Every structure is written in structure tokens, then in C-alpha cells.
Amino acid sequence: MQDIYLELLKKLNDYDQSLDILQSNFKDGMYHLSRANYHNKDSLRGNYGEDYWDNTYEGHFTVNIDSKTNHISIAKKPLPKDNNEIIDQNEEEKSALDERDQKIRNRNIKKKDTNKKSKKEGNKINEKQSNKEEVNHEKKEDNYNKKEIMSGINKKTQEKIHKDTIYMFGGLNIPQSLRSCQTSFKNSIPTLEQLVNSRIEIAKICNELETIEIKNHGDK
């Protein structure tokens, strides 16, 4: 009997600590939101709220409930099936880039062999150096272009898969205070999970104590 009360006190203590953390995160979030609204007071839509809401944006987290314990777990939302097509498309674009690289290498080798045969013996050293510099220049330029293209591919993929909901409030003109507000509320997600699960455990222990009390009262 004593162990149950000790367990209840422990759960109540955990719940109380989680509430303090949640209050702190919410306080910071509301503070940053008030600063963002102050800087946005002269805009047509005024304070950040429902007027900015865009239903095309989707949440990044999902809540799962354990059927046995009723505990919840908050995790990042899994990628939709459509994103497999995006990844396959990126693989095709990467293969196209590799094929282009091979063609450029073959062209440089062919050009180098042609120049070797057409030039005189006395100019061979200069031609080799010139061809080497030209190949290196084309290689560097092509590597740069490849990085640019791959950067664009990866950026496009990330935009399609993970679309940050904060951009519905202004795109590139989002104040830093609003970003800080988002961070504060995001930090509250693990705490919310702990609070819900702690409350479920507390309710379970209270039910056990009530059952024991009813049983003892019936025995008397």
C-alpha cells in the first residue's frame, strides 16, 4: 500500500515539474509573439492570427496512442507516398548528370588526342600544358554546375516534403521574433507528451487506490 502512495507522489512531482517547463515555454512563446505583433501593427492584416492561415500547409507532427496503455507519442509525420516519386525523379536527374560528366570526359580525351596529332613535335609540351589547363578548367566549371544543380534538386525536394508552416505568415519577410515564438512552442511538444502520459499514470494509480479503499471498506 505504501509503495502505491510513493509512486503517486513521484508521478505528481513529475507532473508538477513538467507544468513549470510548459509554462516557461508558453511564456517565452507569447512574449515573442507580442513583439512580432508590435512590429507588424502597421500592416493591413495586423496581428498574426487566423487571417494569415493557409490550409495548404500541413503539420509536421503526428500523435500516436498506444491501445494498451493509452500513452501517447508525438513524432514527426512520416513522408507521404507521393514523395517516393520525388526521390525517384531526383535519382533520374543524378543519373543524367553522371552521364553528362562521362560525355564531357570522353570529349576532352578525344580533343586531347586530336591536338597531339595535329601539332608539331616542338609544341607538344606547350600543347599538353594548355590541354591540361583547359581540361582542369572545364572540370572545375562542370563540378560547380553540378553542385548548383544538385543543390537546387535537394532544395526542391525539401520544400515539397517539409514545408515550414511559418512561411504562411509572410515568406521571406518573417521577423526573427516570430521565428523565436515558433521555436518556443515547438520546444513544448515533448513536455506536452510527458504531461499527458503522467496524467494517465496518475489517473490509473488513483483508480487502483479507490478500488483498494472500496475493498477494505467492504471487508469492515
Residues 99 and 154 in one domain: yes
pLDDT confidence of 47, banded at 50, 70, 90?
A: confident
Residues 148 and 100 in one domain: yes
- Among 161, 194, 209, residue at a domain's last position: 161
> What is the model's pLDDT at position 14?
94
Q: Is residue 20 part of a domain?
A: yes
- Among 139, 161, 183, residue at a domain's last position: 161
What percent of the chain is predicted at pLDDT more than 70? 60
Higher pLDDT, 112 or 61: 61
pLDDT confidence of 123, banded at 50, 70, 90?
A: low
CA torsion angle 85 87 89 94 (round to 10): -170
Residues 182 and 148 in one domain: no
**Could you list the residue range(s) of the whole structural domain that residue 52 is in?**
2-57+171-219
Helix %, strand %, coil % of the chain (to 5): 75, 5, 20
Q: Is residue 76 part of a domain?
A: no
What percent of the chain is predicted at pLDDT more than 90? 33
Q: How many whole angstroms separate alpha carbon 117 and alpha carbon 98?
A: 29
Residues 86 and 157 in one domain: yes
Residues 123 and 177 in one domain: no
Using CA atoms, how far residue 2 sits from 10, 53, 216, in Å, is 12, 52, 15
Residues 152 and 192 in one domain: no
Q: Is residue 66 part of a domain?
A: no
Total residue length of the chain: 220
What contacts 32, CB < 8 A, 6 or more positions away? 177, 178, 180, 181, 184
Q: How many whole angstroms separate alpha carbon 188 and alpha carbon 167?
A: 20
Residues 157 and 90 in one domain: yes
Report for 50-59, 116-125, 135-144, 172-181: range of highest mean pLDDT: 172-181
At position 179, the amino acid (one-letter code) is R
Q: Is residue 36 part of a domain?
A: yes
pLDDT in tens, 48-63: 877 777 777 777 888 9
Q: Is residue 146 part of a domain?
A: yes
Residues 26 and 96 in one domain: no
Q: How many whole angstroms separate alpha carbon 124 and alpha carbon 198?
A: 81
Higher pLDDT, 197 or 90: 197
Residues 148 and 186 in one domain: no
> What is the model's pLDDT at position 136?
61
pLDDT confidence of 153, banded at 50, 70, 90?
A: very low
Is the pLDDT at 85 greater than 70? The verdict is: no
Asked if 167 and 174 count as a contact pair (C-beta separation under 8 A), the reply is yes
Q: How many whole angstroms separate alpha carbon 30 and alpha carbon 181?
A: 7
CATH number at residue 52: 1.20.58
Is the pLDDT at 120 greater than 60? The verdict is: no
* Coil, strand or helix at 214: helix
Q: Considering only CA atoms, give the Rg of the chain.
A: 32
Tell me how many domains the chain contains.
Answer: 2
The sign one gets for the Cα dihedral 12, 17, 21, 24 is positive
Residues 177 and 206 in one domain: yes
Residues 137 and 192 in one domain: no
Strand spans (E) along 57-212 = 61-65, 72-76
> What is the model's pLDDT at position 183?
94
- Among 129, 161, 193, residue at a domain's last position: 161
Stretch 106-122: mean pLDDT, rounded? 62
Look over the chain and give the mean of its residue pLDDT values, rounded to a whole number.
76
Is the pLDDT at 6 greater than 60? The verdict is: yes
